Amino acid sequence: MNRRSFMTAAAAAALSPLLTSSRAFAQNSAIDYEALGRIRLMGLNDSTSEVMKTASYMMDVLGPRLSGSPGIRKSAEWVVEKMKGWGLEGAALEPWPEDPTGTNNGFPRGWSNEKFYLHATTPNAFPITGMSLAWTPGTRGLVSGEAVLVTETDMKDLRAKHAGKLRGKWILPAAAADLRAQWDPVARRLTPEQLDALETPARPPEQGAAPAAPPGSPPPRPPAPADRMPFFIAEGALGVLTTNKGHGVVNVLGGNPLDPPDRQIPRISIEAEHYGRIARSLMQGQPVVIEGDIVNAWHDTPEMFNIVGEIRGATKPDEIVIIGGHFDSWHASTGATDNGGACSSALEAMRLIKASGAAPARTIRVCLWNGEEQGLIGSRLYVAKHFGGVRGAPVQGNPRGVPQPLTPAHARFQVYFNLDNGAGSIRGVHCQGNRAIAPIFRDWLDPIRDLGATHMSMRSTGSTDHASFDAAGLPGFQFIQDPLEYEPKTHHTNMDFFEALQPEDLRRNAVIMAHFALTAANLPDALPRMKR
């Protein structure tokens, strides 16, 4: 069977040929080939594309964009001015709705790192690569102390061995990790076979068999040990050092913004090789002294917002197509592949549509989300405010688990396209189980197949901002992307810099996003929705 056919032979035979040809004509008639030609000409040419220039300024000059930090606001204000310069309308920082719980939608305080210095001084001096977890305190000046390995997880054993002995010490709360050699290529693209597999519906487990874990899933985690942090704080430890990925990569996330700063101690993620060297030295009976000078700043009740800008529709301005991705990042690097590169492509897509002279029927809006890393907060609040249907949104009179009433704009909404799986080239679309929409999108891929976008997957994907729309009964989709170095190298790590971006991938992504947005805006009818 032709791989591009999404239906079984029996289902295809049951459809009227006239209906099939009429549907294909209706979908293809929405494609503005002249505008697409101009978009391709500008967007794929290194001399006329601006996507890498945008990405460089965002990452290299403006830096990390941690939610609630001064850095994300500075970057967002720059983006708003860029959109205004391109002629987009309504370019602004749209405030999050007021939070009746009094916690500022989970951000009672912002946080930023202003200085990080960590160094082993004995028995041999060497710098320690790492970074503070967000929303944890610094050292209050230069401090020095011995490292101590604390592997006990039972509180009774912990107190028996370490009570009264941890003041002024750096805690290593686990043994050194055994690192696996990097046998597999770090950077990779999806093969035709892998893309074909995404189009194959997932099978239920065989009779009597346990459900299989998806390929590449990590092994099951052991039960979490008791929370030892209050004990370390009460004992007067200098700080807690942790580790994760290895091979020079440090995965750095954050603590809880709701935790008061004065009830914490420094928590630092360091390179696995440095952690291992310290831990093994201690096991050899050799004391290790570490000094640190870490300055972290707190910012009370930061203004929280999403970034918006649009091209108004010519004939259906109240019907909306949105493209976007999350703007916030973690702070150990500049957030290039997660998710600054995708934001740069979305912004470039809007610039290309505007510069092409196209006049979309519906309004095309770009939304760059805040608070995605803390649980899709910005996109969820946006959907709740504009469209309703969100469960447990923090608005007055909306109990947890009860969906909000739908707004009139819910029925007028057309579609949301999200980009947030690294910086790799778009290879297709996850259709979130929406079988009616797959053949429509497949037709849209025909004019851009040479850019590598070829496949439709019926499987649902989550963990990023399209899920906020999908959960509210709105068409929201995530593009399939080449993984490149996203895992294990750049995702949430100290290696996520501009150098991880591939210029040709970002240029192609901007053209593909512009094409999908413009075609959805010009489609005669509303796109089919899933019943929720």
pLDDT in tens, 159-183: 999 999 999 999 999 999 999 898 9
Residues in the chain, overall count: 532
CATH architecture of structural domain 12-107+302-522: 3-Layer(aba) Sandwich (3.40)
Residue 91 has pLDDT above 80, yes or no: yes
Residue 17 has what pLDDT? Answer: 38
**Contact indicator for 329, 497 with CB cutoff of 8 Å:** no
- pLDDT tier, 463 (very low <50, low <70, confident <90, very high otherwise): very high
- pLDDT tier, 15 (very low <50, low <70, confident <90, very high otherwise): very low
The Cα–Cα gap between 447 and 30 comes to: 12
Residue 217 has what pLDDT? Answer: 53
**Contact indicator for 68, 109 with CB cutoff of 8 Å:** yes
Percent share of the chain, pLDDT over 90: 82
Domain ranges, ordered by start, for the chain: 12-107+302-522, 111-178+224-297
Give pLDDT tens digits for 437-449.
999 999 999 999 9
Residue 520 has what pLDDT? Answer: 98
Least confident of 15-29, 192-206, 486-500: 15-29
Provide Rg for the chain, Cα atoms.
25
- pLDDT tier, 9 (very low <50, low <70, confident <90, very high otherwise): very low
Phi-psi region of 357 (alpha: psi -120 to 50; beta: other; left: phi over 0): left
Least confident of 14-23, 73-82, 304-313: 14-23
Query: By C-alpha distance, which of 465, 437, 441 is closest to 454?
Result: 441
Least confident of 140-144, 289-293, 401-405: 401-405
Residue 21 has what pLDDT? Answer: 39
- pLDDT tier, 215 (very low <50, low <70, confident <90, very high otherwise): low
Q: Give me the CATH code for the 111-178+224-297 domain, please.
A: 3.50.30.30
Residue 8 has what pLDDT? Answer: 33
Residue 4 has what pLDDT? Answer: 35
Percent share of the chain, pLDDT over 70: 89
CA distances, 279 to each of 175, 198, 456 (Å): 7, 43, 48
Mean pLDDT of the 305-321 span: 98
Strand order in the sheet with 126-127: 126-127, 109-122, 289-300, 143-149, 170-172, 239-242, 267-270, 130-132
Residue 254 has what pLDDT? Answer: 95
Residue 222 has what pLDDT? Answer: 53
Least confident of 36-40, 206-210, 417-421: 206-210
Residue 7 has what pLDDT? Answer: 34
The Cα–Cα gap between 518 and 405 comes to: 30
Q: Is the peptide bond before 123 cis (omega within 30 degrees of 0)?
A: yes
The Cα–Cα gap between 389 and 383 comes to: 8
Relative to beta strand 130-132, strand 267-270 is antiparallel
Residue 1 has what pLDDT? Answer: 37
The Cα–Cα gap between 422 and 487 comes to: 9
What is the reported pTM? Answer: 0.91
* Average pLDDT of every residue of the chain: 91
The Cα–Cα gap between 293 and 141 comes to: 5
Structure tokens at 496: 């996520």
